[in-house]
Amino acid sequence: MLPSLKRAGVLLGALVLSLWAHHTTAQTYPTKPVTIIVGFTAGGTTDIITRLVAEKLTKAWGQPIVVENKPGAGGNIGAEFVAKAKPDGYTLLMGSVGPLAVNASLYKKLPFDNLKDLAPITLVADVPNVLVINPRTVPSKTFGEFVALAKASPGKFFYASTGSGTSSHLSGVLLNQLAGTDLTHVPYKGAVALNDVLSGEQVQCMFATIPSAIQHIHAGKLRALAVTSLKRSGSLPDVPTIAESGFPGFDASSWFGLVGPAGLPRDIALRIQGDVAHALKEPALREKFIQQGSDPVANSPEEFGEYMRAETAKWAKIVRSSGAKVD
């Protein structure tokens, strides 16, 4: 055999072995416990969603799923940890709109690139924000009435957020831009913001995540005026969207998705995506998601990657116009 043909044969054999190894790995994955990092504290929306999914994957895979909370820096600490992990499918991140899109323009320097250092697997849940008011201090019965009242009284109404640059903050920035209102932003550190909306003494309204506000809405302590997604939420079907209330295209949802480190083998990503999609089709799990105010989603790695790129670009424009920055 000619030397060149022999080398070609060796290379072809190596390629076939490599492809076979990847296929075999995906078929047998996982063979040991899998860790899903959550970049926020236990008990929050990201944590709740992760644990619901982890329970189903544990049963499907026959391996423990360890949910590890690494809170801090708006989710960046957890995202950085996963970005620097070995891309073998055993360290994943349940990311949110913050570290996977907003923070790229909000923070002056990030220790990772959300679009280059993380491998999209699947969008797991879409969680609309809901504009809630304290009915004791704001008389508006509808979103239209609230916008008219706010425009007639510029600077009078204060809206709480869970922090500068969060979706609860930027939802208000987007409303001010599109509706011509002059709501004043009051940032808080985390979900404690909703407590002041409930008291009505310091702030009168908030773009809250549905899971955090839904019990107070049902109890009549808060009034839901509109949700910030393009379609209505399954958990609040009678509450209109801002888009259908006169501002087409308004979309400022929170969302959550699974990613791994860049270089994650495609076969493993597809295995994880397929098993998550199967779990989210189960009626019992879907019902739990909806009860939490989350709409389950399970798109492909390519679709999720494109969504992350679009969201990163969209939020960059809003962050620039808001002037929000975090060192």
Which stretch of 19-28, 37-46, 90-99, 212-221 has the lowest confidence by average pLDDT?
Answer: 19-28
H helix or E strand, kind and range, residue 289: helix 283-291
Three-class secondary structure of residue 83 per DSSP: helix
Portion of the chain with pLDDT greater than 70, in percent: 92
Query: Do 65 and 94 form a contact (C-beta atoms < 8 A)?
Result: no
What CATH code is assigned to 129-245? 3.40.190.10
Q: What angle do CA 221, 291, 136 make, to 5 degrees?
A: 10
H helix or E strand, kind and range, residue 48: helix 45-61
Q: Please report, for the chain, the start and end positions of each structural domain, with discontinuous segments joined by +.
A: 30-127+253-322, 129-245
One fold for 30-127+253-322 and 129-245: yes
User: Which pLDDT score is estimated for 24?
Assistant: 44
Closest C-alpha to 212, from 47, 39, 36, 79: 47
Superfamily (CATH) of domain 30-127+253-322: Bordetella uptake gene, domain 1 (3.40.190.150)
Closest C-alpha to 246, from 139, 314, 151: 151
Residue 205 in this model has a pLDDT that exceeds 80? yes
DSSP assignment string, 228-255: SSSS--TTSTTSPBSGGGT-TT----EE
Q: What is the pLDDT of residues 184-197, one digit of tens each?
A: 999 887 778 899 99
Query: Do 119 and 281 form a contact (C-beta atoms < 8 A)?
Result: no
Ramachandran category for residue 26: left, alpha or beta (phi over 0 → left; psi -120 to 50 → alpha): alpha
